[in-house]
Amino acid sequence: MSTTPTEPPDQPRRVLAVFAHPDDETLSAGGLLALLAQTAQVHLVTSNRGERGEVIPTDIAHLEGRAEELADLRVAELAGATRALGITEQTFFDQLPGHSGPGRYTDSGMRWDGASRVRALPDPDAEPSAFSKADPERAAQVLAAHVRSLRPDLVVTDEPDGGYGHPDHVHASTVTARAVRLAADPQAAVDGEAWSVPALAWIVRPLSQVRAAATWLQQAPARPRLNALGRALHVLDADGEQPTIVVPDAQVDAVVDTTSVAERLLAAMHAHRSQVQEATAIAPAGARGAQPVADHSEDRPRPDVPPDGQRPDATIGWFALSNDILQPIYGRTWLQADAAWCSPEALRATVTELTGPAPAVGGPAGTDGRDHLPPERTVVEEAPRWYLMAMGLFTVVLGAVFAAAGTAFHRWSAPWGVIMALVAVAAGGVLARSFADRRGAMGYAAAVLVTIFLATWWRPGGDVLVAAQPIGYVWLVGSLLAGVVGMAAPRGWFRDEP
- Residue 355 gets which letter from DSSP? T
pLDDT at 247 over 80: yes
Query: Alpha-carbon dihedral of residues 462, 465, 470, 473, nearest 10 degrees?
Result: -130
Backbone angles phi, psi at 332, to 5 degrees: -140, 155
Angle at the Cα of 153 (from 150 to 159), degrees rounded to 5? 100
**Measuring CA to CA, which residue among 428, 424, 415, 410 is closest to residue 464?**
410
* 3-state SS string for 286-333: CCCCCCCEEEHHHHCCCCCCCCCCCCCCCEEEEEECCCCEEEEEECEE
**Would the pTM count as exceeding 0.85?**
no
Burial class of residue 101 (count of CB atoms within 10 Å of its CB; 0-12, 13-18, 19+): middle
As a 3-state breakdown, the chain gives helix, strand, coil percent values, each rounded to 5, of 45, 15, 40
Q: Tell me the mean pLDDT in the region 187-215.
A: 97
* Residue 253 vs residues 17, 31, 157, 196, 212: alpha-carbon distances, Å: 18, 17, 15, 20, 19
Residue-wise pLDDT tens digits, 225-238: 998 888 999 999 99
Its sign, for the CA torsion 262, 264, 270, 272, is: negative
Peptide bond into 415 cis (omega under 30): yes
Residue-wise pLDDT tens digits, 337-351: 999 999 999 999 999
Residue 108 confidence (pLDDT): 97
Contact 183, 147 (CB under 8 A): yes
Residue-wise pLDDT tens digits, 10-21: 678 999 999 999
Angle between helices 262-271 and 67-85 in degrees, nearest 10: 170
**Measuring CA to CA, which residue among 285, 334, 314 is closest to residue 214?**
314
Residue-wise pLDDT tens digits, 65-102: 999 999 999 999 999 999 999 999 999 999 999 999 89
Residue 450 confidence (pLDDT): 86
Q: Tell me the mean pLDDT in the region 258-279.
A: 97
The residue with greater pLDDT, 443 or 150, is 150
Report the distance separating Cα 442 and Cα 427, nearest Å: 14
Query: Alpha-carbon dihedral of residues 463, 467, 471, 474, nearest 10 degrees?
Result: 130
Give the count of alpha carbons within 13 A of 473, CB side only.
3
Report the distance separating Cα 282 and Cα 295, nearest Å: 26
Report the distance separating Cα 140 and Cα 200, nearest Å: 15
Average pLDDT of the residues of the chain: 84
Strands (E), 110-250: 111-112, 120-121, 154-158, 199-206, 234-235, 246-247
* Residue 331 vs residues 77, 257, 265, 328, 354: alpha-carbon distances, Å: 22, 6, 9, 10, 18
- Residue 186 gets which letter from DSSP? T
Helix or strand holding residue 267 (H, E): helix 262-271
Strand-strand pairing, 154-158 and 14-19 = parallel
Residue 492 banded pLDDT, cuts 50, 70, 90: low
Residue-wise pLDDT tens digits, 304-318: 444 445 889 999 999
Residue 468 confidence (pLDDT): 65
Strand-strand pairing, 246-247 and 332-337 = unpaired
Contact 269, 24 (CB under 8 A): no
Report the distance separating Cα 232 and Cα 326, nearest Å: 10
Q: How far apart are the first and last CA of the chain?
A: 50
Report the distance separating Cα 193 and Cα 202, nearest Å: 25
Q: Tell me the mean pLDDT in the region 378-403.
A: 74
Report the distance separating Cα 134 and Cα 332, nearest Å: 33
Report the distance separating Cα 495 and Cα 312, nearest Å: 24
CATH class of 14-381: alpha beta
pLDDT at 255 over 90: yes
Residue-wise pLDDT tens digits, 468-486: 667 777 876 888 788 788 7
Angle at the Cα of 219 (from 275 to 489), degrees rounded to 5? 65
The residue with greater pLDDT, 481 or 190, is 190
The residue with greater pLDDT, 463 or 162, is 162
**Measuring CA to CA, which residue among 65, 496, 45 is closest to residue 274?**
65
pLDDT at 47 over 80: yes
Report the distance separating Cα 439 and Cα 210, nearest Å: 27
Strand-strand pairing, 14-19 and 277-283 = unpaired
Per-domain boundaries in the chain: 14-381, 385-493
Residue 384 confidence (pLDDT): 63
